[in-house]
Structure 1
Amino acid sequence: MKPRAILNDALLLVTAAIWGFAFVAQRLGMDHVGPFFFTGVRFLLGAMVLLPVALLRGGPSRRVPGALLPGAAVTGLVLFAGSALQQIGLVYTTAGNAGFITGLYVVMVPLLGIFRRQAVGGLRWGAVLLAVAGLYLLSVQPGASVNPGDLFVMASALFFALHVQLIDHLSRRYPVLWISLVQYGVVALVSLAVAAVREPIDLAGMRGAAVPILYGGIGSIAIAYTLQTVAQRRAAPSHAAILLSLEGSFAALGGWLILSEVLSLRSVLGCALLLAGMILSQVAGFRRAAFSRQEPLPSVAS
């Protein structure tokens, strides 16, 4: 393997690790502030870090292309829904569960693509079956009781999948950095507006959540996003997506190391089936990409 390829894979693994441990940070933040406030400040920090990068790489105009604003705003609302549901889910479920269930979006993306007349294929349907079986083992406990947090995270994965399709549509027309900047700003404004109405906000809580918020905003959004962008310049999208799908494994590792979360044998098997479904879905995407250029790109989901 060439040194450049090794470096790219290393960057993608670091990205997956940052995103995986972000679930731990998000869960720790819930001990001090509400989910909407945490989400709002996190994305506000991410937007502030990306702004100078967008200005430096934005070309002569140094301005947001006005035509992208409506589409990017809608995309931001979808991202807000996914992020808020994920954050609410983390109040009730473990970081490991949330990491693996969030990864379902890579399986849901091609299913939503049906509405854009994108073919699914047999391998993708096999990935769906693996993911459904894994989700059942992970989230449905004996006696048919379901963890409500897992349901919130599963709903967030659906919005993240819709977000990927929207980004795929917009990124063919406008600069990705500007799209990201606008949508992060929308998520921050809407989240903070909801938090101002629904959540108690005090200085003590903000101080207690400072480290998780900094990690979630600067580490998970700004740094990891940049690493992903750099690495994917020279990596096939499906190869990159397989490595990035390991974020669920890193979330489980972080939950075990930092939060003392323990997975039962049933949950471990469920996680393994979910991971297998994600990888199979990306392998199917790799095969299809050899014949078509209409495969949606992965996006940040943590």
Structure 2
Amino acid sequence: MSALKSNLLLLLAAAIWGLAFVAQRVGMEHVGPFTFNGIRFALGSLSLLPLIFHYRKKPEQIQGNCSREAVRAGILAGLVLFTAASLQQIGLIYTTAGKAAFITCLYIVLVPILGIFLKHYVSITTWLSSVLALVGLYLLCVKENFSISYGDFLQLVGAVFWSVHILLIDHFANRVDVLKLSFFQFITCGILSLVTAFWLETMTVEGLAGALIPILYGGIFSVGIAYTLQVIGQKYSPPSHAAIILSMETVFATVGGFLLLDERLGFKELVGCALMLAGMLLTQLQSMRSTPVVAEEPNGKVG
């Protein structure tokens, strides 16, 4: 497969993830955030089973990997994923899809900063990227009275957990089977979300029916299909290039919110989006000139 085709597959994955923010907002018009996440991640985990069965006999997929370790790693990653996804889903009730996507993608800048605590080197370019992203975040979210909305705050806290999640995946990716790790983290997140939903929310047949299409999109397309596209695309594209393309999900979320939900951003907010995107891309361009990353988030970030 040519580099162009692989990049197009990655771009399609980014589009699916970006539009997933729109599906999440629409879905919560009918069901609660934990109900939506619970069913979505359960469907996403089931969608990975064909891939797991397909690769189970391939030596390169199972050599040196222990299923028991994959379970433990998946549960730990699933706990962090549950926290991040819950904050994102609840935050979407109070903010726009475009804002949520841009704030969430701060993980691209936060990951190397959090890596300081793991004794990772942080370059001057990374600090510059962080400054651009923070200025952009201020323009995007902070109002004239220097307050930040509740929904934006939840997305910002969620971005920290997405960053921790990526670092966990990076830690475990070379130690366990990545597909099994993804399956167990998704099923863990799904179970925790459903248990919370039964406790805090009321499920109705009418609500589930009304949210059916967004739930199916979020589970099958956002988790299953987009994940598969990323796996195929990254076989023929360097990880740093893939990260730049996948970060375009923020743009698709903003465009989708504008076209489908009539969400509009003012000039100040658009400038903020541009600065945040510049910070994201700058930190990824820096990685293109350094040693390739060993492993990346297998599901990009769940939108």
User: What band does the TM-score fall into relative to the shorter chain?
Assistant: over 0.9
> Retained in 2: the 8 A contact 1:165–1:296?
no
- Structure 1 outlier segments of 4+, above 2 Å: 59-64, 293-296
> Retained in 1: the 8 A contact 2:135–2:275?
yes
Counterpart among 228, 231, 245 of residue 229 in structure 1: 231
1:107 to partner: Cα distance: 0.7
Aligned to 2:91: 89
Give the match's secondary structure for 2:48: helix
Counterpart among 242, 245, 249 of residue 244 in structure 2: 242
Aligned to 1:45: 43
Matches within 5 A, 1:260-275: 260-275=262-277
1:116 to partner: Cα distance: 1.7
Q: Distance in 2 between matches of 1:239 and 1:160?
A: 20
> Retained in 1: the 8 A contact 2:240–2:293?
no
Percent identity reads: 45
Q: Distance in 2 between matches of 1:64 and 1:26?
A: 35
1:6 to partner: Cα distance: 1.2
Aligned to 1:204: 206
Q: Distance in 1 between matches of 2:35 and 2:272?
A: 32
1:294 to partner: Cα distance: 5.0
Q: Which amino acid counterpart does residue 57 of structure 2 have in structure 1?
A: G
Q: Which runs of 5+ in 1 are unaligned?
A: none
Aligned to 1:181: 183
Counterpart among 41, 57, 60 of residue 59 in structure 1: 57
Matches within 5 A, 1:138-153: 138-153=140-155
247-256 vs 115-124, which moves further: 115-124
Counterpart among 200, 218, 226 of residue 216 in structure 1: 218
Aligned to 1:297: 296
**Aligned length in residues:** 297
Aligned to 1:28: 26
TM-score by length of 2: 0.95
1:300 to partner: Cα distance: 2.2
State the Cα RMSD in Å.
1.6
TM-score by length of 1: 0.95
Aligned to 1:11: 9
Matches within 5 A, 1:61-210: 65-210=67-212
Q: Distance in 2 between matches of 1:46 and 1:283?
A: 31
Sort the Cα spacing of 1:294 and 1:133 in 2 relative to 1 into closer, same or farther, 3 A: same
Q: Distance in 2 between matches of 1:42 and 1:214?
A: 7
